[in-house]
Amino acid sequence: MQKKIVLNDGNIIPQFGLGVYQIPEGEATENAVKEALRLGYRHIDTAHAYQNERSVGRAIHSSGIPISEIWITSKLWPSDYDDASQAIERMLELLNLKQIDLLLLHQQVGNYRKAWIALENAVKSGKVKSIGISNFDGERLVDLFNFADIKPSALQVETHPYHQQKELQEFLKPYGTKIESWYPLGHGDQRLLDESRLKKIAQKYNKTVAQIILRWHIQEGIIVFPRSTRVEHLAENINIFDFELSCTEIKEIRKLDKKQPYFTMTYDEQVQNFLSWKLKD
């Protein structure tokens, strides 16, 4: 039985889920989501930029599982920040939902203040349950928290044993904001997967290194949703709730922190890239 986390607004989110980044719209996304739900996944993380929200909606509605039992996260792209209210309506239509469980601002560029006001209004109107941000850091992160009436419930950032975001976790503590991890397995870096400390722990529990890393995320209180379309990997990834890492093992994994992100685009590069992307429904 997978775990759930209480967000700072009182809503309860499944801590483990499926990310559908780079899974194509259509059959690939629908099959991945359906199989994940069959295996016990109850959290699907998508985004308007992924261009597969419609397929996510089809899959959850055809799964036979009550919508109330499935948590859907999506993200608003910067090109929609100036007209965020209409963008939210489009997302609801694509997902075929009356309410999005968690809606994030996808990037820290553009008119994020205006977009955040729209997210807060969407919470008040019942169109969105919880709101948060993705890929915010530095002065824009501080500005958003100072500006927001409703503080972000979640911050989605690159997090893995090589980049554990300890300073960020300390910043978020007073607000009760939870970290959600992308690149939870270190972008598939073979150096991480070959770490001798992780291999030793994996052998003890008869698990893979990937399972040990995912279990570490869970015990560190991080919300995680590895991406996969392969049935065997979907089944392997969720098979992490029948064991528990010891305090000593958690400390050993913490020693792997190199503060080494794989995403290294500067803020100016983000502005140049992300504001120029115009998305289709």
Residue set of the binding site for substrate: 106
Residues making up the binding site: 106
Nearest residue to 74 via CA among 251, 225, 190 = 225
Catalytic, out of 50, 81, 112, 162: 50
SS3 per residue for 155-211: EEEECECCECCHHHHHHHHHHCCEEEEECCCHHHCHHHHCCHHHHHHHHHHCCCHHH
CB atoms within 10 A of CB 64: 9
The answer to whether residues 205 and 199 touch, using CB atoms and an 8 Å cutoff, is no
Give catalytic status of residue 50 as yes or no: yes
CB atoms within 10 A of CB 81: 22
Q: 148: which strand partners?
A: none
- Spacing of C-alpha 266 from chain mean position: 21
What does the alpha-carbon distance between residue 199 and residue 69 come to, in Å, rounded to a whole number? 35
- DSSP E strands in the chain: the ranges are 4-6, 12-14, 18-19, 43-45, 71-76, 100-105, 128-134, 154-158, 178-182, 223-224
Q: Give the residue numbers annotated as catalytic, written as ranges.
A: 50
